[in-house]
Homo-oligomer: A and B are copies of this chain.
């Protein structure tokens, strides 16, 4: 187990990708060295009125240059503050945290919805086999081109402005995509639909979940989800998303 100490790192680049989406590269050789696809980091704010860390998934890992990339959507005080930082500024990070994806499957299917898309990028890089990638957007498209080098990319948009009109499940049906392992990250309704779809088709799926966190390391029990089995650690039907997840097999959790 890697010790994920809090540490200050320098921001290499922080650029806007879309209306409220930003991409940040950090000079963080520690996290770069130790991180797996699907893990996340806690980011801290400088302003002492906001004390809790912000969990952000790792989007890309550059082990050679000792860098990691985070892609985030501005939704509140913390992400707004991050968006104002510039290359050369410092930020405090703790990580890598959580368990990450298990790399398996011969023809994996990667599904990202909205701000669940970024963590699929490092996974796409690392997975072997023939990859299919489904990206679901509300309207505006970001990052889709970055995925093209790793597999066949399918897009869905809610307003139909690109790809399949509808959601990611619609796109899967549309293109009759088959797989032996689904990887998915995105809003809970999307994950719930994928869970149901996987069950129906008898497919395996790994889902990356999200919940409000305090400690980020498994101590506070703030971030639990319902587990189908009694969890060995908590001795109730709860798993901690930060420590036992954020990635779970679809049949481990109730959404």
A residues contacting B by CB (< 8 A) are 46-50
Contacts and interface: CB of A to CB of B under 8 A. Distances in A.
A48 B51 CA distance: 11
- Binding site secondary structure of chain A: loop
Contacts of A47: 46-49
Nearest to A48: B49
A83 B46 CA distance: 17
Contacts of A50: 48
Copy count, this protein chain = 2
7 contacts: A46-B47, A47-B48, A47-B49, A48-B48, A48-B49, A48-B50, A49-B49
A2 to B, nearest CB: 32
A50 B49 CA distance: 8
A48 B50 CA distance: 8
A46 B45 CA distance: 12
A74 to B, nearest CB: 18
A50 B48 CA distance: 8
Nearest to A46: B47
A50 B46 CA distance: 13
A48 to B, nearest CB: 3
A9 B46 CA distance: 21
Nearest to A50: B48
Nearest to A77: B48
Contacts of A49: 47-49
A229 to B, nearest CB: 43
Given A46-B47, A47-B47, 6 more contacts: A47-B48, A47-B49, A48-B48, A48-B49, A48-B50, A49-B49
A88 to B, nearest CB: 14
Contacts of A46: 47
A236 B56 CA distance: 58
A33 to B, nearest CB: 31
A47 B48 CA distance: 6
Contacts of A48: 47-50
Nearest to A51: B49
A90 to B, nearest CB: 13
